[in-house]
Amino acid sequence: MKTINTLLLSAVLWISTLIIPSTLCAQENRHFLTLESGALRIDSINAIDSITIQDGQFMLAFTNGNTHSESINQLDRMFFGDCQTGLFNESVTYGTVTDIDGNTYRTVQIGNTTWMAENLRATHYSNGDALVNAVSDSDWNSTYVGAWCSLVNDVNYDCPYGKLYNSYAAQDDRNVCPSGWHVASNSDWDDLLLTADPNASLDYYPQNASDIAGGILKTVGDLFWMANTTGTNALGFSAVGAADRAATFGYIDNFQDISGFWIDNGLMIYLFGYGSHVWKSGASSTYGISIRCVQD
């Protein structure tokens, strides 16, 4: 039986009416979100047994018997909401696309190109073949076919951060994107950066491409990033700080600090929480970062 401390529930509902948008998000799953010392924590409501405050501590008790506690002084914000609350630019017109696994994504036209406005969450190629779910650090580092993982291996983080993929997944001819879509190419990224910053450098590997495009592509505020003072999400791209999985040891790192995206040629694009720079770089094929898809 789920129980919620009455005083906390009143506070949560009061806060949620201020921040949950009136428009329906693309996903309907409900979550309890807390901002703890600037870092966003996301938990499915179905996994929570009770929420209490006692002796200066905030505690979540889960149906599997685990608990999470934090000093009430470390809580910046708490609310019930969709996992996409605050993710999009609601002044932008979005479409939708659905992948082979039934995940639905918002899409946005930027210039002459239609992009996914969310990070990919698929676990199958468009022909139905499954990618490998590499959970442990050692498995991730030793998998040389298309693989994915959830952030901190918790599917609750798939929305809004998406899954992390290795380069084998991004470059596989079976296509990890929905049918009629493809992993963003070098020319797709060049067009996007020129739309965000007409002075962006296209001859930028391995250097900085733009000093302003990152801010235009990132979400607004600190909900999905740490120390994000530059994000405007002006084009509706909605980049979030989805972290990475290191190739050397396989561990997940840089949560809410960076946003990395595979290019279909095995290079990658990087955005940063602390500024508006955009970098292109090389990477090991066992590196784990996000994928954005573009319509053919």
Per-residue pLDDT, 42: 72
Per-residue pLDDT, 68: 87
Per-residue pLDDT, 25: 29
Where the chain has pLDDT below 70, the residues are 1-31, 38-40, 46, 79-81, 204-206
Per-residue pLDDT, 66: 87
Peptide bond into 21 cis (omega under 30): no
Question: 288 with 268: CB under 8 angstroms?
Answer: no
Per-residue pLDDT, 31: 67
Per-residue pLDDT, 226: 82
Other CB atoms within 10 Å distance of the CB of residue 269: 26
Q: What are phi and psi of 99, to 5 degrees?
A: -90, 180
Per-residue pLDDT, 79: 67
Question: 207 with 279: CB under 8 angstroms?
Answer: yes
Give the C-alpha separation, 296 to 107, whole Å: 13
